[in-house]
Amino acid sequence: MERQEELDLAGKVVVITGASRGVGRQAAQTFARRGAHLVLAARTVEPDRKLPGTLNETLAQIEDLGAQAIAVQTDLADVDDLSALVDGAVERFGGVDVLINNAAATTGEIWSKRFLELSRDEWLYQFDVNLHAPFTLMQLVVPIMERRGGGRILNLSTGSGEVFREPEEPPKLESVGDFSLSVPGYYSSKRALDRLGNVLAPELARKGIAVIGMHPGLVATELVAIRVEEAGLDDSVAVPMEIPARMLAYFASCADPMEYTGRLFWAERELADLGVNLDDWTVAAS
């Protein structure tokens, strides 16, 4: 791949789920600095004693950067909430240009439960948040994007065979030290999201819409920091949140997204290979 020029994001309407903390919040700040209008979605509005970050805090940070934004409290497992999120974007900003499916079910006891301990309801909840919510949001925004002449859908994934570009699927690690990676519902639902984007890409391309998957890597989010500390692990391998946030901005603004549609990328590797700088970008001439 060769690096493309990046188009102006000023005034583009960007919906980001999971925006109260982590990559979602960092991405919101990155897009705000480029003049995008933000529609921020998350469940956490009031401070949580277990986790840092709220939707209102992200909104305040975006407004401090001089960008326009709204915050919509959203339970991704609730279909009515998903409709309200898209309706809010249309009512406030007139449409949607970029949808970033970032949120995932990664908190609570589900993460630590092994296969035989996992209830059917817990399994289904992970699919509701990680797969069914992006499916529903995509169905809701595609007609809106098509009427606006096209758009971008960016799905946050996790490590899977395609992203490593190896001839065979790499063995799945069960754990790193005491840090369990045996989370069947999370990895299965995220892998299904990868395939969904791959399958939908040709149909959406005819509507001028690109759907791109991105594996952020092991990112130094607030949640990862907590888990690393609890497990007594070395967090030096975790990448800064700015890396996946910058690559989301790249894929949202690149001049020819159809080069990437239906494919899955790894943020840290692509940033290095394309020579993308964290702090600046080249905007194509209009």
Model confidence pLDDT, tens digit, residues 167-226: 666 677 666 555 566 678 888 999 999 999 999 999 999 999 999 999 988 765 666 655
To the nearest whole percent, how much of the chain has pLDDT over 90?
A: 65
Residue 204, number of CB atoms within 10 A of its CB: 21
CB 248 within 8 A of CB 214: yes
pLDDT band at 285; cut points 50, 70, 90: very low
Domain ranges of the chain: 13-274
What count of residues does the chain have?
286
pLDDT band at 116; cut points 50, 70, 90: very high
pLDDT digits (tens, 9 = 90+) for 229-284: 555 556 666 778 899 999 999 999 999 999 999 999 999 999 999 999 888 765 54
pLDDT digits (tens, 9 = 90+) for 47-59: 666 677 799 999 9
Task: Judge: domain 13-274, CATH 3.40.50.720.
Answer: yes
Cite the DSSP H helix spans in the chain.
22-33, 55-64, 79-93, 120-127, 133-147, 161-164, 184-205, 222-231, 242-253, 267-274
CB 278 within 8 A of CB 268: no
pLDDT digits (tens, 9 = 90+) for 8-21: 999 999 999 999 98
The pTM assigned to this predicted structure is 0.90
> Please, which contacts does 22-25 make with residues 24 or more away whose CB atoms are closer than 8 Å?
22/53, 22/102, 22/219, 22/221, 22/222, 22/223, 22/241, 23/102, 23/156, 23/216, 23/219, 23/221, 23/241, 23/244, 23/245, 23/248, 24/58, 24/100, 24/102, 24/103, 25/53, 25/58, 25/61, 25/241
